[in-house]
A = this chain, B = another copy of it.
Amino acid sequence: MSQDPAPDRKPTISDVAALAGVSRAVASRALSSEPRPVAAGKRQRVLEAAQQLGFTPNLLARSLTTRSVNLVAIIVNHIHDLSDLDLFDLLLSEIQTLGKQVILLRVGSVDRVEDFLRSGIAWHVDAVLVFSDFADAATVRRMFDTGMTLMLNGRGDAQSPAVLADEASGIAEAVAHAAARGVRDVVLVTGRATSSVEAVRIDCYRAAFAQHGLRLLQTLQGDYSYDSGHAAGSSLFDAGEPDAVFCTSDAMAMGILDVHRASFTDGRPTRFRLYGFDDLSLTHFDAYPVASIGYAKRDYVREILKILADPGCFSPGMPPVRVPTRFVPRSSAG
């Protein structure tokens, strides 16, 4: 009981209760966001007392009993995992709208990831959004004291909800676009196929090529980066002259574009058509008019938030939510 609230100490709910002349329990109920039974008069007095004292509930103490911190973790390998900043900006903003705050975990260079995660508040978050492919769903579930692990990295399982881009649709559109323009021979520039997402992506391209009777002259391997695209650019014609080059990231396409800028006039191809992937906002810059494949960020974020806001909407066994990708024509593809 705080008969004499120390001037330097932050007011607690006991102080509020004392000032309002009620018990702590009543004060707690009156201050609760949930509608709990409290006499109207007392509720009023409690609210006024809280106001007057500048009372702020201690959320650490609260979470001790409620077992909820209103915190969600976002796990990335590096910052660049969020292939586009606009996506992350939107995601962060929307999560905050839910009244939750975001703790950002970069596991790229952490040696003992599990220890690192366990020894921080992140262990107690209400939900985990996994962009990094550092672990599969089962491992992630073991690493956090939460039932809600949202797999966005393609390594999910039936126990955890997942939201994934449906890459097939966009890739099919892009390849059809090329085929319709008379493309016959193509080159594919990929990232490392260690991530399952990339493996799927590559399969989609292969299938689409086969369907349209396109000939795959060669497959070059990069690491999604601009520099690796630049490097791939040098060996682009090693296996013959392609009519089109498909890249599994915009950054690599930009590297290639820069190596072969002479083959483009006003961004339009004279030697081969160029297709990227991700629909980076950067492709709006004049110098990199890279035709790309992407999904509506707003839809993607909406699906994530739907699950975050109402975890009950997912039950084990449900398939991943799919957000369709679409082909985004730009001059590099003619």
Asked if A122 is at the interface (CB within 8 A of a chain B CB), the reply is yes
- Residue A59 at the chain B interface, CB threshold 8 Å: yes
Q: B80 near A118 (CB under 8 angstroms)?
A: no
A223 within 8 A of B: no
Residues of B within 8 A of A110 (CB): 96
Cβ contact within 8 Å between A80 and B71: no
6 A-B pairs with least C-beta separation: A287-B287, A258-B286, A101-B120, A79-B89, A103-B103, A92-B106
State whether B89 touches A78 (Cβ < 8 A). yes
Q: Which residues of B contact A85 (CB under 8 A)?
A: 79-80, 85
> Inside 8 A of A120's CB, which chain B residues have their CB?
59, 70-71, 99-101
Which stretch, A61-69, A167-175, A269-277, touches the partner chain B?
A61-69
B64, B92, B109, B121: the one contacting A70 at CB < 8 Å is B121
Which chain B positions have C-beta within 8 A of A108?
93
Tell me, in angstroms, the Cα distance from A116 to B59 when the chains sit together. Answer: 13
A305 at interface, CB cutoff 8 A: no
Q: Does A196 contact B (CB under 8 A)?
A: no
Does residue A181 face the partner (Cβ distance < 8 Å to B)?
no
Proximity bits, A230-256, B CB within 8 Å = 1, else 0: 100000000000000000000000100
Q: Does residue A104 face the partner (Cβ distance < 8 Å to B)?
A: yes
What band does the interface of chain A fall in when counting residues whose beta carbon is under 8 Å from B?
35 or more
> 4 more A-B contacts (CB under 8 A) besides A60-B64, A60-B124, A100-B120?
A64-B64, A80-B89, A104-B104, A257-B287
0 or 1 for each of A41-70: is its CB under 8 Å from B? (1 = yes) = 000000000000000101111011000011
Given A79-B88, A79-B92, A106-B92: A71 in contact with B121 (beta carbons within 8 A): yes
Residues on B with C-beta less than 8 A from A298 are: none
Binary contact readout A102-115 vs B (1 if CB under 8 angstroms, 0 otherwise):
11111011100000
Write the chain B residue with the least CB distance to A59: B121
Whether A226 sits at the interface, judged by CB under 8 Å, is yes
List B contacts of A93 (CB < 8 A).
106, 108-109
Task: Report the bound CA distance from A285 to B226 in whole Å.
Answer: 8
